[in-house]
Homo-oligomer: A and B are copies of this chain.
Amino acid sequence: MEIKIMRNVLDRNQDKASENRQLLEQNQVVMFNFISSPGAGKTSFLELLCENLAREFNIGIIEGDAYTYRDAQRLVKYNLPVVQINTEGGCHLDSNSISRALAEFDLNKLDVVLIENVGNLICPTAFDLGENYCIALISITEGDDKPAKYPMLFRKADIIILNKIDLIEYTNFEINRFKADLHKLAVNVPFFEISCTQQTGIQDLIN
């Protein structure tokens, strides 16, 4: 019974995700879904994207958080439209909440929507939000075993970003091991090494 209910939930999610994708296409908006562990640097990365891209593109941001409004508050300074989704303990965003968030924007005036999902490597990977690109953001300090341990995320990702590269010398992270595990999953998508605090690798990624 639980499996059936879960299938219904995912089917309904998929329908709404398709609607979102269609709505974005009609308005020529591209949407990105950022998934990472708690504290891997999603908000810091979004800050850098806003700083570097806000002159060229009209950006809207959807902030997913289990409880607080802190991440949204960090982005207010860019004077861009930000919609906060508070899941009240829920472990992922779904396409229905994104649909309501998109309705808050004037999509005619946007080029890009960036979604910061709830910090979690598992549940968000099961819920299509209607995004055009899913971005997996992993930080060096989490260890190089993440592709093996969370294959669903890496199979779903269109771009993989390795953040906190400045800390690699203080850890036992080996990029070759990380890449070998991606290879085992047959994952072959653009891969970037960056540091949000040191602002390295950002320009490459943006180009």
Within the complex, what minimum Cβ distance (angstroms) separates A179 from chain B?
17
| 6 A-B pairs with the lowest CB-CB distances in the bound complex, closest first | A39-B142, A141-B141, A91-B122, A39-B143, A37-B38, A37-B37
Question: SS class of chain A's interface: helix, strand, loop or mixed?
Answer: loop
Within the complex, what minimum Cβ distance (angstroms) separates A108 from chain B?
33
Select the stretch in A24-32, A75-83, A149-157 that faces chain B: A149-157
CA distance A1 to B8 in the complex (A): 11
Quick one: CB contact mask for A102-140 with B, threshold 8 Å, 1 for yes? Answer: 000000000000000011111100100000000000010
Q: Which of B9, B91, B172 contacts A91 (CB 8 A)?
A: B91
Give the bracket for the number of chain A residues in contact with chain B. 35 or more
| Known A38-B150, A67-B149, A119-B121; 19 more pairs at CB < 8 Å | A1-B5, A2-B5, A2-B9, A37-B38, A66-B150, A67-B148, A67-B151, A68-B145, A70-B148, A89-B152, A90-B122, A91-B91, A91-B120, A91-B123, A119-B149, A120-B123, A139-B141, A141-B141, A170-B170
A43-97 residues with Cβ-Cβ distance < 8 A to B are 65-68, 70, 89-91
CA distance A152 to B38 in the complex (A): 14
Within the complex, what minimum Cβ distance (angstroms) separates A92 from chain B?
9
